A = this chain, B = another copy of it.
Amino acid sequence: MARQERALRTRRLILEAAASVFDECGYERATIGEVVARAGVTRGAVYFHFASKRDLAQGVIEEQFEAEAVPERPCKLQEFVDTGMVVTHLAPIDPLVSAGVRLSVDQAAEGHLGFDAAPGWIARLERLLVAAGERGELLPHVVPADTAGLMTASWVGVQLQSQRFTGRADLADRVATLYRHLMPSIAVPGVLACLDLAPDRGARVYAEMVAARGGSAPEGATATREAGEPAE
């Protein structure tokens, strides 16, 4: 394995370990020692890639945007839906997504250290809404930035509620309810009637993404690890 490839693999391993620690303990209680132990690397290796716990948290937030986007569709609002539904599918099984949510929400990190996945998700959704608008898919009153912000905020709230009430067992159902409530005020009727908003949509799209890359997960792509597959 070339040296650069090995370094990337180690970096990824460290980020996955850090994600699982942040996800379980929160930012404040997380320690670099625990990340070292879980990653099975040396302390020196961690510090080679990340100068501090803060850097590790920032790395976890950013890593989720390294993942490939959902497959392109003729209907951009379906891509908008798919984006949220694939993340919904991954949240309970991918520590990077789960830790990203927790770090973003966690208010215990006094002074709001600024770990926030929301701006990245809002920007991604806003681009899709703008594209949808150019294709005539949006109702005339929709303001892409506002609707992207609302979608992101509501998803976070639904995720917290599902986590609290059922340990995320009903997350896909609750997110489907969210889309069923929001899309009628976003999509023109002809598009609305064609949208797939079923609770298992995220799982199906993700399976399609895995199949498209031949069933194997390229390194360095968050959303591309197989569900349940342990980190190497």
Which residues of A line the B interface, CB within 8 A? 26, 28-29, 102, 105-108, 110, 112, 116, 118, 146-147, 149-150, 152-158, 160-161, 164, 174, 177-178, 180-186
C-alpha gap A153/B29 in the complex (Å): 26
C-alpha gap A153/B171 in the complex (Å): 12
The 8 Å CB contact of A158, one of B147, B154, B161, B182, is: B154
Query: Copies per complex?
Result: 2
C-alpha gap A23/B46 in the complex (Å): 35
Closest 5 CB pairs of A and B: A157-B157, A108-B108, A153-B161, A154-B154, A153-B157
A102 / chain B contacts, CB cutoff of 8 Å: 107
**SS of A interface (majority):** helix
C-alpha gap A181/B185 in the complex (Å): 5
A29 / chain B contacts, CB cutoff of 8 Å: 110
Chain B minimum-CB-distance residue to A149 = B161
The 8 Å CB contact of A107, one of B108, B147, B183, is: B108
Q: Known contacts being A153-B154, A153-B161, A158-B157, is A181 close to B147, with CB within 8 Å?
A: yes
Smallest distance from the beta carbon of A94 to chain B beta carbons, Å?
18
C-alpha gap A41/B104 in the complex (Å): 37
